[in-house]
Amino acid sequence: MKKIFYATLIVLAGFAFAGCDRLLDADPKDRLTEDGFFKSESELKAYAIVFYGAFPAGELYVANDDHYTQNNMSDEEMGKRTVPSSGGGWSWGALRNINTLLVNLNHCPDATVRLKYEALARFFRAYFYYNKVKRFGDVPWFDTPVGSTETDKLNRPRDSREFIMGKIIEDLDFAIANLPSTKSTFEVTKWSAMALKSEAMLFEGTFRKYHAGDVFLQTLPADAHDYKWYLEKCAEVSGEFIRSSGYGLHPDYFELFHTMDANELTDEVILARDYNKDYAVSHVSGATMTNGSRGCPAVTKKLIASYLMKDGTRFTDIRDWDKMNFIDETKNRDPRLAASIRTPGYKRMGESVTTSPDFKVTFSGYHPDKYLTTPGDQDIASDIDLIIWRTAEIYLNYAEALADLGTLTQADLDMSVNLLRKRAGVTAGINLAEANANPDPFLTDADWGGYQSPVLLADPNKGVILEIRRERAVELCQEGFRYYDLMRWKEGKLFEKPFYGMYFPSEGVYDVDGNGSADLEIFTGEAASSTATAKKLDEDIYLKDGTSGLVWLHKGVLRNWDEGKDYLYPIPKDERNLTGGALTQNPGWDDGLTF
C-alpha cells in the first residue's frame, strides 16, 4: 500500500508538472470537466495526488549553508545571483492545478468528499504560497485558474505579504478543521496542516522581528500585524499540536534517518516522502555521501563545535577546543553528533567493520551520514523515505516563538526542547535563568561566524534564544532548514565568514579515527603513503595557519552578501515584461527594465 501510493504519485506528478513553469505554458486543466471529470472521489484523488510532487526531495539532505557545505559554493552563499530571464522559482503551474480542482469541486455530488478535497487543495495552496513568500516576499494572489487571454488577471501587481499570509492562514485553518485526523505517514492530514502553520507563522514572525525597518517590509500596509501576532499564532498551533496530536518523539534519534520505511516511525514522523526502487522511485542520498563526484558534502567546524558535551556543558568552554584531534573532540559529546557524521568507531548500516571519514568524499573531514543506509544499490539509487515534518520541529518552533516573544517559561522548555536533549541522551536540559544570565559567547563570536543581528544582541532573552537556535541546528542538521533560518534571522552575512574543517598540527599521515588505518596524508613534496587519501598542501587542502591549523574550506572564494537585496530572490525579467511592469522588482535587484 505504502509503496504503491507514492510510486503512483511520482509518476503522475511527472506528467502533471511537466512544462508548467508559467501560467501560459499549458492548456487549461479545467477542460477536463468537459469529459465529466471531478465527479467522484476516485477522480478527485487521481487528480490531487500530483500535488504531492511539490514537496522537497533532495533538498532535505543536500544544501549549502554555514553548517553543511560542498566543494562548489552556491550562488546564494557567494552573492553571485543575477536576475534571470525566466525561471528562478517563479513558477505557477502547481497553483493552476490546485485552483482547477477547487473551482470544479461542485461537480462532485458527495458533500463529505468535496469538503475533504477542498481542505487538501487549500493545504497545498497554502504550502505553495508560503514558499513563494519565503523566496520573493510580495507575490500576486490567484484563487482561480487564469487563462492565457485574461490579461487583466495576468497583469495584476503583487499583493502585500501581509495579504498573502492572511490567505495562507485562512487556507490552513480550513485544512486543519476538515482534513482527516487519523495519522498517515505519506498523506496530508490535519496534523500536517498544523505543522505547516507552525512553520509558516514562525518564519513570518521572526522575519518581521529581525528585519524590522528593512526595505523588504516597506510594502506592508499601515495596519499590518506585528511580529508578535505571528509568533503568538505559532505558539498557539504548536502548543495545540503538542497537547492533542498524539505524536511524540521516536526513542532513537539515529533510527529516524536510517530506517527505510517511515511507517515504522509514526510516533514522531508527521509526513514523509515515500521511495521504492522497485517502482523506479529513488533519490541520490547514498551516492552523495559516498561518491566524491557529487559535491563532497561536508559539515563545518562551527556546527561540530555547537554540539554540547553529553553532560550538557559547552564544548567550546574547554581550553584549546579548536586544536583538538578528531578522536578527542568527539569524546563524550551529544550523541546526536555520532548519529549525524562518521565518528570514531562508526559502522555503516549492514557492515560489521568500522569505516573512517573519507577525505575523497568530504573535504572538511566531517563526513555526514544522515539518510545513508546499506552499501550496494543504495549507493546508486536510494529509497530510504525522507521526512518532511516531524514532532521535533514543532517542539523547536514552540520554544523559539515564545522565546522571541519574551514569554517563555521553564515549563515550556521542559515540554519541548528539553525533551529533545533527553531523547538524545544529553543529561542536562536548558535552564532558562542560567541561559539568560550566561549566554554562550561562542554563538555570537564574530570570528567564528556567530550571530550578529543587533536585534538579537539587544534582546534580554538572548541567552535562551541562542540555546534554542543551537538545539535547532543540532537536531535538524542536514534536513534543509538552515538557509531560510538564516534569512528570517537576518544573518546572511554569516556566509562571508571563513568555513573550517578538522584541525591538523602539521603535514603528515593521519589515522584520524584511530582504527589503525591511514586516512589522510597532507604533504608538500611527494606523498609517502600508498593507502591514505593524499592532499597536497596549498593545492588540494588549505590550513588556516599555513602549515598547520584548521582545514580552510573555500579559501580564496570571494563572498559578498548584500544586506539590501539578498534576503529575497529577484523577479525574472520575462515575467516583468509580460505584465508590462505591473510586477515590480524586488529591492536592490537591477534588471535594466524601464516601463
Task: Look at residue 452 and tell me whether its pLDDT is greater than 90.
Answer: yes
* Gap between the Cα atoms of 420 and 498, Å rounded: 30
Statement: residue 286 has pLDDT above 80: yes
Q: Is 430 among the domain residues?
A: no
pLDDT for 148 equals 60
Average pLDDT over residues 357-380: 92
As a whole number, mean pLDDT of residues 29-58 equals 82
Q: Is the pLDDT of residue 33 over 60?
A: no
Which residues neighbour 359 within 8 Å (Cβ) at sequence distance 6 or greater? Answer: 365, 519, 520, 533, 535
The per-residue pLDDT for 103 is 96
Q: What is the pLDDT of residue 149?
A: 62
Mean of all residue pLDDT scores within the chain? 92
Cell numbers 568507531 correspond to 345
Rounded average pLDDT over 3-15: 44
What is the pLDDT at residue 380?
Answer: 86
pLDDT in tens, 531-569: 999 999 999 999 999 999 999 999 999 999 999 999 999
Domain CATH number, residue 19: 1.25.40.390
Read off the pLDDT of each residue in 585-590 and give the average, rounded to a whole number.
97
Whether 224 is in a domain gets the answer yes
Which residue from 41, 49, 43, 46 is spatially nearest to 116, judged by alpha carbons?
A: 41
- Paired with 382 in beta bridges are 283
- Helices 190-210 and 227-244: crossing angle in degrees, nearest 10, is 150
Q: What confidence tier does 152 reach under pLDDT thresholds 50, 70, 90?
A: low
Give the helix ranges, DSSP H, for 179-246.
Answer: 190-210, 227-244
CA dist 561 to 81, 198, 491, Å? 10, 29, 10
pLDDT value at position 155?
Answer: 76
Residue 34 confidence (pLDDT) above 90: no
Q: Characterize the bridge pairing of strands 533-536 and 520-523.
A: parallel
* Res. 47: pLDDT tops 50: yes
Q: How confident is the model over 304-357, as pLDDT tens digits?
A: 999 999 999 999 999 999 999 999 999 999 999 999 999 999 999 989 999 999
pTM confidence score? 0.94
Choice among 27-36, 52-61, 242-251, 452-461 with the minimum mean pLDDT: 27-36
For the cut 50, the answer to whether the pLDDT of residue 21 exceeds it is no
Q: Which three cell numbers stand for residue 222?
A: 499601515
The yes-or-no verdict on residue 145 having pLDDT over 80 is: yes
Between 22 and 123, name the one with better pLDDT: 123
Question: What pLDDT sits at residue 20?
Answer: 37
Give the closest residue to 104 by CA, choosing from 46, 145, 75: 145
In this prediction, residues 69-76 reach a mean pLDDT of 92
Q: Count of domains in the chain?
A: 1
- List, for residues 93-109, the tens digit of each pLDDT value: 999 999 999 999 999 99
Q: Check residue 64 and give its pLDDT.
A: 85
**pLDDT tens digits for 457-514?**
999 999 999 999 999 999 999 999 999 999 999 999 999 999 999 999 999 999 999 9
- Give a yes or no: residue 202 inside a domain: yes
CB-count exposure of residue 251 (10 Å: 0-12, 13-18, 19+):
exposed
pLDDT at 3 over 70: no
Q: Is the dihedral of CA 15, 20, 26, 31 positive or negative?
A: positive
Percentage of the chain modeled with pLDDT above 70:
93
The mean per-residue pLDDT over the stretch 168-185 comes to: 98
The answer to whether residue 218 is domain-embedded is yes
Specify the pLDDT at position 377.
78
Radius of gyration in angstroms for the set of CA atoms belonging to the chain, rounded to a whole number? 24
Q: Is residue 573 part of a domain?
A: no
pLDDT attached to residue 6: 47
Secondary structure (3-state) at 21: coil
Residue type, 563: E
Q: Is residue 367 included in any domain, yes or no?
A: no
Greater model confidence, 302 or 22: 302
Name the DSSP letter for residue 572.
Answer: P
CA separation for the pair 378, 362 (Å, rounded): 18
Q: What is the pLDDT of residue 30?
A: 45
Identify the domain containing residue 31 by its residue range. 2-56+92-247
pLDDT of residue 146: 82
Domain-embedded: residue 329: no
**Domain assignment present for 188:** yes
- In the Cβ-directed half-sphere of 462, how many Cα atoms lie within 13 Å? 18
